[in-house]
Structure formats: structure tokens, C-alpha cells
């Protein structure tokens, strides 16, 4: 199912207790692809916020698995609306359990003398001739069929690599009508956590917490555009890994900063 169909379905459920389901093609092992559940929650929250208040930060906690082909509903709460900023929280409920919770801060620009430009750039090789994460049924997560992930530096998951960084490019295989922040949320979560390539054999891993900050203004982007991604592991021990990533548009503008905590079971 195309991502635009799922986002439109979620949008219609903002003020409703009706349910929707995610099809298997958006699954990742036993649970839904985290990027799609985060994008759906963001979409229902965004409906409660004025259009001139773009997303500034989004924290998603993956509390428990969200099962494919099983109905779930949304709960959204507006915590506060100030002159510029709106703070909201939202949850996905499945089988009476909280599966995902999210907290978001939206805000309009305000007048300010303070300006610091981002000096962080990337030197990634262009994506066109780079190897892609292949869709191998039964081995790669189902959702990979919707995305192109071109690896610039790093290794395949579970290959026992000494590298703890992973860099590459991402885009939708079937371009959406337009790239919204919901599309960016799902794209940014598509990469395997950079510690997976260090594992010597197949083992479970789950993102538990994910924080995403958006840099504004985003410049207009084309729906089939590639985005650059550079992730590194800041620290990992005791079955938890802490990762950080920067995301740039194809013009080299930094558009988002991502941090995640991952539970590793090996």
C-alpha cells in the first residue's frame, strides 16, 4: 500500500475513535516499521495545529510492538497553545495497550536577532551507482520494498563489521504526491541502526526512543528527491545503543537531526 493512502487514512481519524490497520508490506519483523507508525501519529497530531506552525521537534517512544493487520486507534491531546508554539502528545492504542507514544512541539517563526548557520556538510558519493539494501523476502524487513536505501559507507546488518557509522541516501521507490514532514519522518527511520552491522549473527533489536528535530525553513523538494543520511553510534553497552544522525536534502541543506536509543538483544 502506498504511504500516501496510509497518511490520508490516518488524517481522517484525527477526531475519531475509529480504527485503521497497517498492512504486512509495512511490517518489520514482528512489528510495524517505526517510521510509518511515527508518521501516522504525527499526521493525526498535525491536524490539530495551525498550518503556520511547522514541526520543530518530535519524540517517539516505541512502547511495545504494533502488529500488522490488527486494528489500532489514535488519541491526541493538545497540551498547550501559546502565541507561537503548540505542544501536543499522541498515542497509538492496539488491543487496549499503548504501542507508541509521541510528543511534539510545533512553532511559528518569531522575530529574533540570533542566527547561527549550520556548518555541517557531508561528502557522500552521489547515490546513483551505490549499492542498495536489497529486498529479499524473509530476510529484509517488508517495508524496504517501498524505499531506496543506497549505502555510501557502512556494512550490511549482521555482518560483524568493526564500523559503527552508516552513511547513505534514501528516497521513496514510488514517489509520493509531495514530500511532507510525515514523509520525511518515515524516510529518516528507514535505516537499520548502525550497530546492527556490528552484530555477528541475526538477533533482535528494537528502537525504544527516537527524537527528531527539524531545521526550518525546509527548501521545496521534489517528490523523487534523494536525502543524505549520516549516522554514528555515540556509545553502546549493556544492551543499549545511542545513535545520532544528520539528514540533508539533495542541495546539501541540513534539514533534520535524529537521535535514538536502541535495545540490542545480543
Binding region for ligand PKZ (CB under 6 A): 28-31, 34, 62-65, 133, 136, 139-141, 156-157, 192-193, 196, 204-208, 263, 265
Q: Are 26 and 209 in contact (CB under 8 A)?
A: no
Q: Which is nearer to ligand PKZ, 125 or 139 (CB)?
A: 139
- Which C-beta is closer to ligand PKZ: that of 78 or that of 202? 202
Nearer to ligand PKZ, 139 or 174 (CB): 139
Shortest distance in whole angstroms from residue 176 CB to ligand PKZ: 21
Q: How far apart are CB 234 and ligand PKZ at their closest, in Å? A: 17
Smallest distance from ligand PKZ to CB 31, Å? 4
Give the whole-angstrom CA distance, residue 55 versus residue 173. Answer: 25
Minimum separation from the CB atom of position 164 to ligand PKZ (A): 15
CB of 5 to ligand PKZ, least distance (A): 21
| Cα–Cα nearest to 106, from 35, 183, 48 | 48
Closer by beta carbon to ligand PKZ, 86 or else 152: 152
**Smaller CB separation from ligand PKZ, 65 or 127:** 65
Amino acid at each position: 500500500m502506498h504511504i500516501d493512502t496510509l497518511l490520508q487514512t490516518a488524517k481522517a481519524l484525527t477526531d475519531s475513535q475509529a480504527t485503521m490497520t497497517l498492512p504486512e508490506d509495512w511490517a518489520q519483523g514482528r512489528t510495524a516499521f517505526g517510521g510509518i507508525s511515527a508518521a501516522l501519529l504525527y499526521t493525526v497530531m498535525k491536524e490539530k495545529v495551525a498550518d503556520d506552525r511547522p514541526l520543530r521537534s518530535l519524540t517517539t517512544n516505541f512502547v511495545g510492538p504494533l502488529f500488522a493487520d490488527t486494528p489500532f486507534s489514535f488519541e491526541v491531546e493538545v497540551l498547550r497553545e501559546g502565541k507561537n508554539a503548540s505542544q501536543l502528545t499522541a498515542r497509538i492504542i492496539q488491543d487496549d495497550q499503548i504501542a507508541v507514544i509521541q510528543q511534539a512541539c510545533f512553532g511559528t517563526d518569531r522575530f529574533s536577532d540570533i542566527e547561527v548557520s549550520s556548518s555541517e556538510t557531508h561528502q557522500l558519493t552521489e547515490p546513483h551507482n551505490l549499492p542498495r539494501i536489497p529486498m529479499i523476502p524473509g530476510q529484509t524487513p517488508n517495508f524496504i520494498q517501498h524505499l531506496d536505501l543506497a549505502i555510501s559507507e557502512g556494512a550490511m546488518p549482521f555482518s560483524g563489521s568493526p564500523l559503527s557509522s552508516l552513511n547513505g541516501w534514501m528516497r521513496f521507490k514510488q514517489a509520493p504526491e509531495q514530500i511532507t514532514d510525515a514523509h520525511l519522518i518515515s524516510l529518516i527511520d528507514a535505516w537499520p541502526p548502525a550497530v546492527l552491522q556490528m552484530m555477528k549473527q541475526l538477533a533482535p533489536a528494537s528502537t525504544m526512543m527516537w527524537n527528531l528535530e527539524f531545521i526550518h525553513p525546509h527548501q521545496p523538494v521534489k517528490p523523487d528527491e534523494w536525502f543524505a543520511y549520516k549516522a554514528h553510534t555515540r556509545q553502546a553497552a549493556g544492551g543499549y545503543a545511542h545513535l545520532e544522525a544528520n539528514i540533508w536534502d539533495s542541495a546539501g541543506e541540513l534539514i533534520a537531526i535524529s537521535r535514538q536509543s536502541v535495545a540490542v538483544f545480543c
